[in-house]
Structure formats: structure tokens, C-alpha cells
């Protein structure tokens, strides 16, 4: 069972960290690998969508947020493994996750406010181009 009470513990957040990796460190490693996998899937789906579509732009945003966050958390895990004093603090990885969450909120804001309108306009423009090409 996960213990979230240690997230408020000053010793856990700021150190000194024990030499051996903790279970939470391994979970952050798994999360970083999952982020990188999601970014690769987003890039694959992005390449499968049509060029110039808003869907491709949205998937590209997901690719960037997950790849950047996954790589930075993986870098943190490496510094934790090597026990680099300031970088290996648990507060660093939690700040990286907060940055990821804020970035994801901006992507969600784009999705709910702009994406649907742009996707509808792009579909209408695609149909219009299809019939204009047939008329020529």
C-alpha cells in the first residue's frame, strides 16, 4: 500500500537521503518509463494523422509534455542512483511532477477551448477542398 504521509515529511523531501534506493524511487523510475512510452505512442499516432490537422498538433503537444517529463524524471533517478546531493532530493522529482501537471492543464485548456473548434473547421475545409478539386 502506498504511504502518502511521507510526502509532508521534511527529511523525506529534503534529505539526507539513504544510500540505497527506496521503493518510491523505483516507482518514480517506472513512472518515467511510462511517460516515455506514452510519448512514443503519441508520436506514432501523430504521424498517422493527416498533415496540418489540429489532431496532429494536439498529439505533438502530448508527445512533448510526456517525453520532457519522462526524460527529466529519468535524469533525476540517475542523480538519485549516483546520490548527487541537491539533485537527488525527493522535492526535485515532486516539483517536476507539478510542472508536468501544470503543462497538462494548459493542454487540457487548449483541448476544451480551441481544439474542437479548429478540428470542426479543418473537417469542413477538407470537405470543401474535396469538392473543389472535383469541380476543376
46-79 confidence digits (pLDDT tens): 999 888 889 999 999 999 999 999 999 999 999 9
3 domain-assigned? no
The domain in which residue 31 lies consists of: 22-135
In sequence order, the 6+-apart residues with CB closer than 8 A to the CB of 34 are 70
> Quick one: how far is CA 92 from the chain centroid?
16
CA pair distance 64, 70, nearest whole angstrom: 10
Average pLDDT over residues 112-131: 89
102 domain-assigned? yes
Which pTM was predicted?
A: 0.86
1 domain-assigned? no
Average pLDDT over residues 29-34: 97
Domain count for the chain, please give it: 1
Compute the chain's Rg from CA coordinates: 21
75 domain-assigned? yes
9 domain-assigned? no
Nearest to 58, CA basis, from 118, 120, 100: 118
4 domain-assigned? no
Cell of 101: 501537471
13 domain-assigned? no
Average pLDDT over residues 21-41: 94
**16 or 23, higher pLDDT:** 23
5 domain-assigned? no
Amino acid at each position: 500500500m502506498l504511504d502518502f504521509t511521507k510526502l509532508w515529511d521534511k527529511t523525506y523531501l529534503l534529505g539526507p537521503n539513504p544510500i540505497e534506493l527506496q521503493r518510491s524511487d523505483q516507482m518514480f523510475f517506472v513512472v518515467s518509463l511510462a511517460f516515455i512510452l506514452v510519448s512514443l505512442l503519441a508520436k506514432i499516432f501523430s504521424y498517422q494523422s493527416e498533415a496540418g490537422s489540429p489532431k496532429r498538433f494536439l498529439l505533438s503537444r502530448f508527445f512533448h509534455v510526456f517525453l520532457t517529463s519522462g526524460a527529466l524524471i529519468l535524469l533525476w533517478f540517475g542523480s538519485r542512483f549516483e546520490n548527487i546531493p541537491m539533485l537527488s532530493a525527493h522535492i526535485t522529482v515532486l516539483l517536476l511532477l507539478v510542472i508536468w501537471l501544470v503543462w497538462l492543464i494548459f493542454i487540457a485548456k487548449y483541448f476544451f477551448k480551441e481544439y474542437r473548434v479548429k478540428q470542426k473547421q479543418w473537417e469542413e475545409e477538407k470537405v470543401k477542398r474535396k469538392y473543389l478539386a472535383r469541380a476543376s
